[in-house]
Amino acid sequence: MQIRLFHKTNSRSQRIVWLLEELQLDYELIFCDSAALNPPLQQADHPHRLGKFPTLQIHHNPSLEVITLAETAAIADYLSYLCNDLAISKLTAPEVMQYYYWKNFTEATFMPDLALKQIFAAIVSKTPLPVRFVSRLFKLGFDRGYLNQSLKQHMQMIEDQLQSHAYITGDQFSLADILLWFPLQACTACNTEFKAFVHIQRYLLQLQSRPAFQRACKTGHWSTGIFESYWASANS
């Protein structure tokens, strides 16, 4: 099985680099940080060809056509299925329910709210300077009226879950932890007050101490400083 991952540094695709390391799979990493490197991804055999990151290509054997997958959650589920690892087969019955909830909460609820932070920050930065105060006021109103409170609720709910569990589903490390790591890091960078959540901080340190995580950071050219600066700017 040959695997190619189209990757953008300090993006959500870092989670797939980490997953590949956890599964101990051999893979080719293709960095697409430059626009000049996008054409190979645009030509990938995927029905939508949106040029999204991450995108995964898999050759199962020479006689089969290439399988191409986009979307982090879809890639993560498929790799977990192929390897029968980091999925529900290793969880207890109560943990299975938690697994499905937190895995889907991460991508369907938590990440969209964080993405809105960046979208509104981008709108402000691209608004012409003479009228920028208008978009800035709109962003401030949306942050105070919805986003800040919503993110605080998400973080409190995660903190409560981790108060009595080593990992987000229970006592077993799973795919849900890999997916959740990125928005937790981003949310903490957006608002340093969230560092007061001691169980989340313990959890993040525990995840980051995993050998596969550390290998993935090196392989994927992860920069904590650049990442935190990027997300902190979304709260300005």
pLDDT at 87 over 50: yes
Q: Which of 68, 83, 98 is the last residue of a domain?
A: 83
pLDDT at 42 over 60: no
Same domain for 183 and 220, yes or no, is yes
Helices (H) and strands (E) counted in the chain, each on its own, are 11, 4
Q: Please tell me which of 33-37, 161-165, 232-236 the model is most confident about, judged by mean pLDDT.
A: 161-165
Q: Distance (Å, rounded) from C-alpha 126 to C-alpha 78?
A: 38
Q: In sequence order, what are the beta bridge partners of 2? A: 59
Same domain for 146 and 79, yes or no, is no
pLDDT at 204 over 70: yes
- Kindly report, residue by residue over 181-200, the tens digit of the pLDDT: 999 999 999 999 999 999 99
- Kindly report, residue by residue over 140-170, the tens digit of the pLDDT: 999 999 999 999 999 999 999 999 999 999 9
Q: What is the identity of the amino acid at 136?
A: R
pLDDT reported for residue 155: 98
pLDDT at 177 over 90: yes
Q: Pairing state of beta strands 2-7 and 28-31? A: parallel
| Confidence class for position 51, pLDDT limits 50, 70, 90 | low
Same domain for 49 and 110, yes or no, is no
Q: Which of 83, 102, 136 is the last residue of a domain?
A: 83
How many domains does the chain fold into?
A: 2
Same domain for 226 and 125, yes or no, is yes
Same domain for 103 and 219, yes or no, is yes
Mean pLDDT of 93-120: 94
| Confidence class for position 47, pLDDT limits 50, 70, 90 | very low
User: Are the C-beta atoms of residues 56 and 3 closer than 8 Å to each other?
Assistant: yes
Q: What is the pTM of this model?
A: 0.90
Same domain for 151 and 203, yes or no, is yes
Average pLDDT of every residue of the chain: 90
Same domain for 71 and 173, yes or no, is no
> What's 49's domain CATH number?
3.40.30.10
Q: Distance (Å, rounded) from C-alpha 158 to C-alpha 197?
A: 9
Q: Which of 83, 100, 131 is the last residue of a domain?
A: 83
Q: Distance (Å, rounded) from C-alpha 86 to C-alpha 205?
A: 19
Same domain for 33 and 141, yes or no, is no
Q: What is the identity of the amino acid at 48?
A: H
Same domain for 52 and 117, yes or no, is no
pLDDT reported for residue 61: 72
Same domain for 60 and 100, yes or no, is no
Q: For residue 31, what are the domain limits? A: 2-83
Same domain for 47 and 100, yes or no, is no
Same domain for 60 and 135, yes or no, is no
Q: In sequence order, what are the beta bridge partners of 6? A: 30, 55
pLDDT reported for residue 91: 85
Q: What strands, in cross-sheet order, belong to the sheet with 28-31?
A: 28-31, 2-7, 55-59, 67-70
pLDDT reported for residue 63: 62
3-class DSSP state for residue 117? Answer: helix
| Confidence class for position 48, pLDDT limits 50, 70, 90 | very low
pLDDT reported for residue 64: 67
> Phi/psi class of residue 54: alpha, beta or left (left: φ > 0; alpha: ψ in -120 to 50)?
beta
pLDDT reported for residue 39: 45
pLDDT reported for residue 35: 55
> What's 192's domain CATH number?
1.20.1050.10
Alpha-carbon Rg for the chain, nearest whole angstrom, is 19
